[in-house]
Structure 1
Amino acid sequence: MDTRPTIMVIGATRGTGMDVAWLLPRYGYELLILSRDGQKARELFTKRAQIRVGDITQRDTIQNAFCDVEHVIMTVGVPQWICREEQIREVEYQGTCNTIEAALKAQLPGRLVYMSWIGLGQPSLWCWLQDRLKPHQTQWRSRAEEALRSSGLNYTIVRAGLLSNAPVGMHPVRIDQRQLPLDLRYRSGRMDTALAIIHSLTRPTAHRATFNVYWGPGEQVDKAWKDQFDRLQPDPPAAPTS
């Protein structure tokens, strides 16, 4: 009987979520993928994962998807560069709220790790451009973070820098909780970000905490992950959302 913890990844068919899904079995986890496109998920992962079909924008399709799941990793976002605000609200805010509701209903025993990005609430050229292409995306993403903080769940919010497809380990990875703007000084590899997400699952200091992950100066050392996670502090208590 397989006793490995089961991790459900939402957003595994593209981007950083795909990197997370490919790495999880190497760290001793059983992989489960929730996708609205079950056929695509099966083609990508064949026998590596269980597949459950559901769309986070359709609440009724995910209510039973959290059964026998230890942790959830959520990396969902609107992939198109140009889209309507209604689509962003539906996917990035309401989809997150639906996921929170389903996790609470299932009494999720572990952690819900939510991937966001550096710079929310910090004015910058990149955030301005983001909101021009994807109307009010920073607002809806911020509201999604707030909903998770006030949910009562055991959560971690991982804020990635500007993402690159560079191979893992090319740059030292930095983790901190500063208020940083979204710009080219704070970049991150998708695979490095995926590793930070996976490491956060079992770190006690990542419980109800928000942190940045980005490339920094200096050299990466073997104990860097532990040292940086050990310095994390929990988020301030969140006001309940209406």
Structure 2
Amino acid sequence: MTSFDSVEDLVLVAGATGGVGQLVVGKLLEKGLKVRVLTRNAAKAEEMFNQRVEVAVGDIRQPATLPAATQDISHIISCTGTTAFPSARWEFEQSPNLIEWGITFLNPKSSEAKAKNSPAKVDAQGVSNLVAAAPRNLKRFVFVSSCGIERKNQFPFSVLNAFGVLDAKQKGEESIINSGLPYTIIRPGRLIDGPYTSYDLNTLLKAKTGGKYGVVVGTGDTLSGDTSRIDVANACVESLLHPSSSRKIFEIVNQGQRPPAINWETLFSGLK
């Protein structure tokens, strides 16, 4: 039994052209599932995915662009995000000079206010906007969050959260949980493995983890370590196929010896 009950099911992937998002789309297509991607750049998405997906032009930071993108969808996988520390991806209104960069690092709130793509605008408000636009009969909302949400005052997560990325991820989680929608929240450790840049679809479909380590999941935000983007993408897609992952929040890291195949049902059903 899976949460896919008909050929009409349609998965919306937000953040589809990012590292994890690209792999998620490839794995959904590999399983024969229908995919719609939410993107600000239609030409880039069409080229990346070889015109095998529906493309909805929109931006989670702009609520008015979302109703059309979420129409008739059955599942959402949100892989959106930005850098934890100020960078070009924050899309500052104007490029900071050296003095302004110094002020930015001394006063994180001032930098966030000047950025269009900060964690607060993407991981908190953007996710909240996507939740508000989701159909009330949505079968699952999968959100890629982060380890450390519940350990923000402990090293190294206190450093990671210097500019509020974990605060923003937590607000995103809360908006999903409080919505009443069925959800799966995945908290990876430090992301490793590609893609680091845009891959073409053929490469994505062939993406296999070359890691030697197994997949470990847990609850209560106690795990730490590296997590392959490939395994995060697998967890996102497999969670749609296993009812035992519904309304679960879990960390995922790579540890121990890797078995010949990952038994996702065993992993999900063992979660509290």
Asked if Structure 1 and Structure 2 have the same fold, meaning a TM-score greater than 0.5 normalized by the shorter chain, the answer is: yes
- Say which SS state the counterpart of residue 191 (structure 2) adopts: strand
Structure 2 CA distance, aligned partners of 1:46 and 1:28? 15
In terms of mean alpha carbon deviation, does 224-233 or 53-62 score higher?
224-233
Distance change in 2, residues 1:54/1:146 (3 Å): same
Deviations 1:83-107 (A, max 9, x none): 532432111111011000001xx22
Q: Name the aligned partner's letter for residue 196 of structure 1.
A: A
Alpha carbons 1:174, 1:214 under 8 Å: kept? yes
Structure 1: gaps spanning 5 or more residues: 234-242
RMSD of aligned residue pairs (Cα, Å): 2.0
Runs of 4 or more consecutive aligned structure 1 residues displaced over 3 Å after TM superposition: none
Identify the residue that residue 54 of structure 1 maps to in structure 2: 58
Q: Give the letter aligned to residue 100 of structure 1.
A: V
Q: Work out which of the residue numbers 222, 225, 229 in structure 2 matches 1:180.
A: 222
Structure 1 pair 180/52, CA: closer, same or farther in 2 (3 Å)?
Answer: same
Name the residue aligned to 2:97: none
Which structure has more RCO (C-alpha within 8 Å, separation ≥ 6)? 2
Judging changes above 3 Å, is the alpha-carbon distance between structure 1 residues 45 and 80 closer, same or farther for their aligned structure 2 residues?
farther
The aligned residue for residue 74 of structure 1 is 78
Counterpart AA for 1:152? G
Write out per-residue CA displacement over residues 196-216 of structure 1, whole angstroms, 9 at most, x where no aligned residue.
Answer: 111111222211110111112
Superposition deviation, residue 175 in structure 1: 1.7
Q: Which runs of 5+ in 2 are unaligned?
A: 1-5, 91-110, 195-207
Task: Confirm or deny: 8 A CA contact 1:97 1:147 kept in the other structure.
Answer: yes
**1:130 partner letter:** L
Letter in 2 for 1:168: T
Map of 1:120 onto structure 2: 149
Task: Report if the CA contact (8 A) 2:226-2:253 is conserved.
Answer: yes
Distance 1:181 1:222 in 2: 22
The question of whether the paired residues in 2 share the 8 Å contact of 1:69 and 1:108 is answered with no
Q: Alignment partner of 2:68: what SS? A: coil
Identical pairs, percent = 28
1:154 is matched with which residue? 182
Are the equivalent residues in 1 in contact too, given 2:83–2:119 (CA < 8 A)? no
Q: Counterpart of 2:112 in structure 1: which amino acid?
A: E
Distance 1:214 1:4, change over 3 A: farther
TM-score normalised over the length of structure 2: 0.77
Q: Relative to 1, partners in 2 of residues 1:38 and 1:80: Cα closer, same or farther, differing over 3 Å?
A: farther
Query: In the alignment, what sits opposite 1:38?
Result: 42
Residue of structure 1 equivalent to 2:120 = 89
Answer yes or no: is 1:168 the counterpart of 2:209: yes
Partner SS state of residue 11, structure 2: strand
Q: Aligned pair count? A: 225
The alpha-carbon deviation at position 124 of structure 1 amounts to 3.5
Q: CA deviation at 1:80?
A: 7.1
**Superposed CA offset, 1:139-171 (max 9, x none):** 111111111111100111011111101651522
SS in 2 for 1:48: coil
Partner of 1:13: 17
Q: Distance in 2 between matches of 1:211 and 1:169?
A: 23
**Once the 2 structures are TM-superposed, how far is the Cα of residue 195 of structure 1 from its aligned partner?**
0.3
TM-score (norm 1): 0.86
AA of the residue aligned to 1:92: D
